[in-house]
Amino acid sequence: MEDRSGNIWFASSNNGVFRYDGKTITNIVEKEELGENYAGGIAQDKDGNMWFTMKNGICKYDPSAELRADGKTLTEYTSKDGLGGTEIWGIYIEEPSGIIWVTARGSTTRFDPSVPLPNPQAFTVFTPADGLNCCVQSMYQDKAGNMWWGAGQGLYRFDGQRFYQVKQHGPW
């Protein structure tokens, strides 16, 4: 993906995440900080932080931390924090709220990073009981703010409480 500064980001299945700034390719994520060095989805939030899916969770990379004294650039979130599932597939950041949607085998999680952790209200885990029953493959927010999910069993829409499968005549 290309971030707002024009950097190109690449995820790998065994070497973490790389950033290309137009001149140099830099490995951003060190092995011990990213679940088994596996990276997948990439998204950027409104503050410029980069978010990556990893084998057992998600990871936030704070590029401004490189300038801070503590130097801590990565924050990891897993099922121990409240994230649903362990085999993480996709990530999408909803605008303008900054809500982060994460898909995993058997669940989809709504994560509000503005809620300080530990706090169970930061994570809402949706399962098949909430209407989304299978294998999310894509997420998208339209211009009106509606969230859409493409899954193995079709197209779904979220109404703020639960997911509804979209049929030929709605719900739109």
Say which CATH number the domain at 70 has: 2.40.10.500
pLDDT at residue 10 is higher than 70: yes
**In a domain? residue 10:** no
Domain range holding 76? 38-126
CB 108 within 8 A of CB 102: yes
Report the distance separating Cα 12 and Cα 154, nearest Å. 28
Tokens of 164: 């509804």
Please name the helix (run of DSSP H) or strand (run of DSSP E) that holds residue 109, with its range, or none: strand 107-111
**In a domain? residue 156:** no
Average pLDDT over residues 10-26: 88
- The beta strand positions in 82-122, using DSSP E, are 88-93, 100-104, 107-111
Listed ranges 39-48, 62-71, 130-139; the one with the highest mean pLDDT: 39-48
**In a domain? residue 86:** yes
**In a domain? residue 138:** no
pTM score of the predicted model: 0.85
**In a domain? residue 159:** no
CB 75 within 8 A of CB 64: no
